[in-house]
Amino acid sequence: MRSRDRLPTWTLDALLATWFAVISAQRLAVLVGGGAFGFDGRLYRDATRAWLAGGDPWSVFLGGIGFGAPPPTLLAMVPFAILPESLALATMLGAGLTGTALVLHRLGMPLWFLLFPPLVDAAWNANPEVLLLPLLMAGVAGPGAAGLVKAYALVPVLVLGRWRPLAVAAIVLLLSAPLLPWYQFLTALPEIADRFRVQSSGGMSATAWWPLIPVAAAALVLAGRDRAAWLAVPVLWPWTQWYYATIAIPAFARRTAGAYLAAALLATPVPGLPVAAAAAIALERIVRGRAPRGQGSRSAG
């Protein structure tokens, strides 16, 4: 495709930013009408406080929703558990959004990506998800801390072959293991797995419909490792919820039509669309790879 036939970058920006704003506004309207700010953060904090008091964190429920994260998450939540609730939620949200803004700046991405609807959803609920990208971009020790917050945060680190951060994460997990209630967790694991399945309605990823899995895997391979690393969680992780797609933001750093289409698809809370997002990037990469030299090798605009 010739350069003059492409949409200019500012047009792609305007279209995607508008889509983000519309979806986020719709989601916030539902969330504001449905309950108080910080639901997820309060659930994580209550479960951690129960563990610190000698109780079973996986018996903690809030509004009918049960805690289900693995034991390392409890350790990561200790600083927030010892703070007053309102301060804990504000600190988590402030650190997450400020850190994400810095990540966007580092990647050369516009700040309006803070309107990415899965991120908005996680932010309103004060979900620890908002901490993942800042930690994953924070040198060697950051990914290890991110792995404590959410186990799947280590997926992009593994796919990218960042062995030093993985070694640090492994050491942290081994050293913390004696402190954590792994026996309680493993005993309750069948119930926790069923809870995840029900609470996520099967999830957003390919695992919600097994025939999609080979399609998803092929799309990730064809998308290239640097993007597949960030897309792998929303595309293939079991029982994914919408806000899991927050971790995929670096996959859109190259401001191409395919990347922006993928971002728009991930911004839309429909099961299976994460697979379509990976396919969009894979297809664009294939087309660009087949284009004659001097065509298809630059971002739009």
Q: What is the pTM of this model?
A: 0.91
Q: Tell whether the torsion through CA atoms of 157, 159, 163 and 168 is positive or negative.
A: positive
- Region for residue 71 given its phi and psi (left: phi exceeds 0; alpha: psi -120 to 50; beta: otherwise): alpha
Beta-carbon neighbour count of residue 19 at 10 Å?
17
Instruction: Supply the pLDDT for residue 148.
Output: 92
DSSP state of 204: S
* Short-list 259, 265, 301, 263, CA closest to 282: 259
Contact of 57 with 50, CB cutoff 8 Å: yes
Contact of 236 with 220, CB cutoff 8 Å: yes
Contact of 99 with 15, CB cutoff 8 Å: no
Instruction: Supply the pLDDT for residue 195.
Output: 87
Instruction: Supply the pLDDT for residue 291.
Output: 53
pLDDT for 53-103, tens place per residue? 999 999 999 988 999 999 999 999 999 999 999 999 999 999 999 999 999
- Residue 181's SS3 state is coil
Instruction: Supply the pLDDT for residue 110.
Output: 96
**Residue 62 parent element (H or E):** strand 61-62
Domains of the chain by residue range: 3-9+201-290, 31-196
Spatial separation of the C-alpha atoms in residues 145 and 154, rounded to whole Å: 10
Residues lower than pLDDT 50 in the chain: 1-5, 293-301
Instruction: Supply the pLDDT for residue 290.
Output: 64
Spatial separation of the C-alpha atoms in residues 156 and 106, rounded to whole Å: 18
- Residue 61's SS3 state is strand
- Residue 297's SS3 state is coil
Instruction: Supply the pLDDT for residue 111.
Output: 97
Contact of 176 with 75, CB cutoff 8 Å: yes
